[in-house]
């Protein structure tokens, strides 16, 4: 089964139940990347959480990405990091992590930012937001045309982000995205537990 899901963590990890849920979700074998994106933890807590997650992702053969903090990624030997336009400079992140690690870059709705990311040596680019999202408020709205453009012009993996769920993800994939980023639909779904939510994405 093709792994086309780029799974982003919930904003807060409140209990040990999260780790069980994560393992259940990753067992579906559809997640290629898992990104840890939490903002309100101390550095030492982030390291502890990252180490617990690393064991789960490794067991399930999923790439582990740390948001915004290449130093944490280096310390725990994650597969890489993801940086936004307001985060650390790409060249510094690459220097910290080395050439073999994955670095993804947020490009919002900008072809120019994507071209710069490719020139700098990014491993993938992320576009969005494509739909309304409760997970992350953003002023940037992307349309499907940028996915078609990226497939033709930059020839590198693309991740689509923002409000993606079981009713709209096919549209994203059909227009050229390699991966769909999911967070709220999996972790904050009022009708389905995380494992059921991801299975709902697979079967539709």
Please give the helix or strand (H or E) that residue 124 lies within, else none: strand 124-128
Alpha-carbon distance of 72 to 47, in angstroms, equals 7
| The total number of structural domains that make up the chain | 1
- Alpha-carbon dihedral sign for residues 119, 32, 11, 167: positive
What pLDDT is stored for residue 116 in this prediction? 97
Q: Which of 81, 79, 13, 95 is nearest to 48 (CA)?
A: 13
How far apart (Å, rounded) are the C-alpha atoms in residues 44 and 65? Answer: 17
pTM of the predicted protein model: 0.95
Q: Residue 43 belongs to a domain with what CATH number?
A: 3.20.20.70
Give the model's pLDDT for residue 140: 80
pLDDT digits (tens, 9 = 90+) for 113-170: 999 999 999 999 999 999 977 656 666 889 999 999 999 999 899 999 999 999 999 9
Write phi, then psi, for 171 (nearest 5 degrees): -60, -40
Q: Which structural domain range is residue 107 located in?
A: 5-203
């Amino acid at each position: 089964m093709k792994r086309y899901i780029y799974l982003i963590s919930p904003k807060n990890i409140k209990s040990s139940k999260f780790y069980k849920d994560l393992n259940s979700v990753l067992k579906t074998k559809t997640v290629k990347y898992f990104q840890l994106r939490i903002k309100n933890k101390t550095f030492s807590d982030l390291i502890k959480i990252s180490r617990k997650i690393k064991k789960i992702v490794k067991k399930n053969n999923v790439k582990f990405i740390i948001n915004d903090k290449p130093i944490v990624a280096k310390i725990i030997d994650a597969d890489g990091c993801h940086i936004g336009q307001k985060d650390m400079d790409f060249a510094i992140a690459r220097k910290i992590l080395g050439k073999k690690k994955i670095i993804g870059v947020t490009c919002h709705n900008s072809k120019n930012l994507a071209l710069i990311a490719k020139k700098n040596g990014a491993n993938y680019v992320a576009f969005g937001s494509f739909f309304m999202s409760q997970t992350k408020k953003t002023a940037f709205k992307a349309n499907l045309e940028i996915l078609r453009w990226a497939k033709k012009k930059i020839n590198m993996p693309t991740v689509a982000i923002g409000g993606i769920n079981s009713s709209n993800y096919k549209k994203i994939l059909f227009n050229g995205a390699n991966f769909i980023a999911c967070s709220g639909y999996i972790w904050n779904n009022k009708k389905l537990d995380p494992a059921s939510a991801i299975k709902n994405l697979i079967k539709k």
